[in-house]
Amino acid sequence: MAVLSRETILEYWLERVLRSYPGQGAKFLAGERDPFRNPAGSTMRQALGVLLDELSAGMDRERAAEALDSIVQIRAVQGLEPSQALEFIFQLKEILRPQLDGPERELVEGRIDELALLAFDFYMKYRERTYQARTNEARRRIFVMERRQGAGGAQEWQERGGI
């Protein structure tokens, strides 16, 4: 079996990641290379490259974490389930498995598992921020409604089933 180049592996991986996006979204993310017109696609392409490099090199945890964080941040705010948002990490195992043998395979797959755990932590952090932002927005709306209605109107509103 021929060993795939870094660029080929990266393209396979990016293609698999983008399959999780609906129709035209995937085409745009894959095709548009201008980072100003397609910041999410550009970020993914760059971050996946860093992750691939770190997996095959000494695994600078800080550099890998930074790249992983940028991808997970995008995927967490898109409302994907955790399994869908983080599936991209495990897809790399399938791509690399035929390229690696024995101890090297175990080492790389162990590193991928480390990345998956780290990605889950990042995912939860961004989901918590998203829910907190929604909660703050709901509180703000209630505050504004109470101010508009005055003190008596707010109590009446709550008695009618308001929060």
Per-residue model confidence as pLDDT tens digits over 33-91? 666 666 777 788 889 999 999 888 877 889 999 999 999 988 887 777 888 889 999 99
Assigned domain for 132 exists: no
Residue 157 has pLDDT above 60, yes or no: no
**Residue 24: what pLDDT?**
55
Contacts 24+ apart (CB under 8 A), 137-141: 138/163
Assigned domain for 29 exists: yes
Assigned domain for 162 exists: no
Instruction: For residue 20, give the nearest of 90, 69, 112 by alpha carbon.
Output: 90
**Residue 50: what pLDDT?**
92
Residue 1 has pLDDT above 50, yes or no: no
Assigned domain for 102 exists: yes
Assigned domain for 59 exists: yes
Assigned domain for 98 exists: yes
The tens digit of pLDDT for each residue in 99-152 reads: 888 888 898 899 999 999 999 999 999 888 877 888 888 888 888 887 877 755
Residues sharing a CB contact under 8 Å with residue 116, sequence separation 6 or more, in sequence order: 86, 89, 90
Assigned domain for 38 exists: yes
How many domains are contained in the chain?
1
Residue 2 has pLDDT above 60, yes or no: no
**Residue 27: what pLDDT?**
57
Residues sharing a CB contact under 8 Å with residue 63, sequence separation 6 or more, in sequence order: 50, 54
Range of the domain at 104: 6-123
Assigned domain for 64 exists: yes
